[in-house]
Amino acid sequence: MPRIYKACWLLLTSLCLSPGAWAAPTVYGWIEKGLIMPDATSAKRVAVKMKLDTGALTSSMDARSLQHFKRDGKPWVRFTLALTDANTDKEVRQTLERPVERTVTVRGAGGMEERPTVTMSICLGDKVYKEWFTLRDRSDMNYPVLLGRRLLAELGPVDSGRTFTVQPSCD
């Protein structure tokens, strides 16, 4: 083997074998526990079960009593989070207001529906993510939060055979 090949092989081998050189990505399960982090003024973070859905492009969040209004001429929405805290099993209700980032047309088995999209922060594992969420009443669904492909592209691999691979630990 020529010297240059030996040198390259030794360099690559040492990089691959050095501790911490290649950190394995976190693999998430199809269901994870995460925190909804409403805003800086709200002390109540809610732990909920979130479904990681590779079939959905945009994330979705359970929102009740949806009210559209204008603030400074721009569209806003007021809604209530009515969630069961996964840590305490108690129902938590919070009313929030957010500017509408955009409106999304969602096509499903029940037809087409227009939904407002707002920015919310969630904690998954040890990271906080700011994500767009469409709002709709998900009270008839098993999971109040669905994480779509836009966020999953940031997270990393999802193993459909696993659940609860990380615990939320954001400061």
* pLDDT tens digits for range 122-164: 999 999 999 999 999 988 889 999 999 999 999 889 999 999 9
- Residue 146 in domain: yes
- Residue 95 in domain: yes
- Residue 157 in domain: yes
CATH code (residue 34):
2.40.70.10
Q: 35 lies in which domain range?
A: 28-163
Which of 7-11, 27-31, 105-109 is the most confident on average? 27-31
pTM score of the predicted model: 0.79
**Cα–Cα distance measured from residue 59 to residue 77, given in angstroms and rounded to the nearest whole number:** 17
**Cα–Cα distance measured from residue 159 to residue 152, given in angstroms and rounded to the nearest whole number:** 12
- Residue 152 in domain: yes
- Residue 98 in domain: yes
* Total number of domains in the chain: 1
- Residue 120 in domain: yes
- Residue 23 in domain: no
